[in-house]
Amino acid sequence: MKRFDKGYIYSSLLTDLFYSFVAVFILFDDLFLDEESPFEDITAAVPVFVVCFLAIYLIFVAYRILYYRASGYELTDREIRCHRGVLFRKRSVLDYKKVHAINKKQNIIHSLFGIAVLTVDSGSANTAHQAEITVIEKSEVVDALMRELNALKETGERSGACEPKREEVLLSDKDSLYCFSSAKKWLYILINIVSAAFFTVLFSILAITVIGIGKAMLELDFLGTWGEYFLYAVMIMAGGVLLLSIFTCIGSITHAFIGYYGFTVTKRDRSIQISYGLLEKHTNTFSYDRIKAVKISQGLIQRILGFASIRLEVIGYTVESGDNDKAAGLGVLIPFCKYDEIGEILNRVLPDYIPSEKRTRAVSFFPFLSWFLLIFGILTVILMTGTLALLVASGVSATVISAVMFGMLGAALLVFSLKLVSALLSYHTEGIAVENRKLTVYSGGFVKTVTVFMAKHLVAVENVTTPLRKKHGIASVVMHLKTNASSNEVKVHIQKDTLSDELETMLTL
C-alpha cells in the first residue's frame, strides 16, 4: 500500500493555519472582547489568544499526520484499492472495468507543493454523492495514473497491459474547431450581463415609476406614515435587485476568465476528458458509454444572437472537493459557441448525440397559461383582499389604499406579462424527434433547452393530462432517464396524447 504524497500534510497545514487563526479570532471577539473593551483587556488577552491558537493548530497537525499515516492506495492486477480516514476508516476497492469517471483537481495551495487530487468513480447510484477512490500524489504521478487507469478500464487487467494507441481529438485554443478566445469570453460575459440586466431593467422601470409617484404624493401630503414605509420597501427591493445584478456581472467575468481558463476537451477512444481552471485546475475523465444526455442551452439573448452552450449529463458523475464530495450531474462540454457550430462540434466528439430536427410541436397555446391563470389569479385576489382589509381596519386614507392597490395590480400585470411571453416562447419551442434510437427533446420558455439522449437510457414514460385535455387528445409527457440524479426527468408539454404510446415502444429497445 503506497501512502499519499507528503505534500498533502504541508498543503493542508498551510490552509489549517488560516482556519485556526479565524476560529480563535471569532471565539475571542464574540466571548471575551467587544467594541468597548479597553486596550489593557485586549493586551491581556493576547497570550490566551496565542495559546488557544497553538492548541487548535496542534490538533490540526495531529489529525493531518494521522490521516497521512492511515491513508494510501494500491493498484493490483484487477482493481485499485484505497484506505483513508482517522476516526472513521474507509476502505474502497474498485474493479478496473467498473471505472467510470477519473478526475484530477489542483488548487493554488496544491500547486505550491506540486500535488494534485485524483478521484476515481464507478458511477454507482449508491455512491453518487462521493467518489470511491481518492489519491493525493505529485501532479505528474496523478497524470500517469490517469493514463494508466484509462487503459486499464478497457483491458480490465494490469499485468501485461499496455496502453493502446488512441485516436485523439483536441478542442482547445490551439485548435481551429473550437477556440474559447478572449474575444469570445468577453462576448459570453456581455450576453450573460445583458440577460441578467433584462429583468433588472423591467423591475427598475416599475420601481422608479412607483417611487416617482410616491414622492409626488408625499410632497402633496397625500401619503402618511404607511406611504413612507411602502416607498422604503420598494427602494430596498430595487437596491437589492441592482446589487444582485452587480454581483452577477462580477461573477460572470470571474467565471469566464478564471473558471474557464485553459478550457480543453479531449476525446481518446471511448473516453472524454475536460480540463479547465486557473486557481483550481480540474481534469475530469469519464466513459463515453456513461453519458446520459447532451443538453444544449440558449438564454433569451443567446437565442436572439444565435449562440448556445453545450453540457453533458453523465450517470453517477462526481467531482470531489477536499473530503467533501459534490454531485456534478452536468458538466460543461462547450461553454459558448455559435448555434450553427453545434453539429460540427458534436460530430467530432459525440457523433451519436447530434440533435435531430423537431418532428412534433405543441398542439394548443392556452394550456401553457391555464394552470398559471387559475393559481396566480386566486393568490392575487386573496392577497389584494387581505391587504385591503388590513389597510381599512388600520384607518388608512383612501388615497393610500388606492395607491397600494394600483401598485399590487401593476406588479400582478407585470408578472402576467412575463408569463405570457414565456408561454408564447414555450408554445413555439416544445417538441420532440425520434430517430434511430435517439430522442431529441425541445423545451423551455425564456431558456430554450435541447436534450439529446439514447433510448437505452429511457426507463419510464409518464403521460400527464387532465380530463379536459384528455378529451381534446392533449397531454404532457415526462421521460425518466437512467440516473440517480435529481435531473432525471425530461419533459415535453402539450403534445398529442398518442406521443406517449410511441415513446413506450422505445422502452424495449
* Residue 116 grid coordinates: 494534485
CB-CB contact of 313 with 330 (8 Å)? yes
432 forms beta bridges with 441
* pLDDT tens-digit map of 14-34: 888 888 888 887 777 665 555
395: left (phi over 0), alpha (psi -120 to 50) or beta: left
* The three three-digit cell numbers of residue 82, written as one number: 484505497
The residue ranges of every structural domain in the chain are 2-70, 77-165+265-338, 182-259, 367-427, 430-509
The pLDDT of residue 273: 81
The pLDDT score that the predictor gives to residue 259 is 81
- Report the alpha-carbon distance of residue 138 to residue 136 in Å, rounded: 7
C-alpha dihedral sign at 274, 275, 281, 285: positive
Does the pTM of the predicted model rise above 0.85?
A: no
**Residue spans of the chain under pLDDT 50:** 161-167, 172-177, 318-330
Taking CA 322 as the corner, what is the angle to CA 73 and CA 271, rounded to the nearest 5 degrees? 65
Q: What is the pLDDT of residue 266?
A: 81
Give the DSSP letter of residue 257: I
Residues 328, 324: Cα–Cα separation, whole Å: 13
SS (H, E, C) 87-102: CCCEEEEEEHHHCCEE
pLDDT for 162 equals 47
C-alpha cell at 239: 437596491
- Burial class of residue 132, CB neighbours in 10 A (0-12, 13-18, 19+): buried
Instruction: Identify the CATH class of 430-509.
Output: mainly beta
Q: Is 325 helix (H, G, I), strand (E, B) or coil?
A: strand
- pLDDT tens digits, residue range 362-383? 999 999 999 999 999 999 999 9
User: Which residues face 138 on adjacent strands?
Assistant: 115
**Sole residue written with cell 430554450:** 448
pLDDT at 333: 85
The three grid cell numbers given for residue 184, joined into one nine-digit string: 469570445
In order, the DSSP letters of 349-399 are H-GGGPPPPP----S-STHHHHHHHHHHHHHHHHHHHHHHHHHHHTT--HH
The neighbour count for residue 319, using CB atoms within 10 Å, is 17
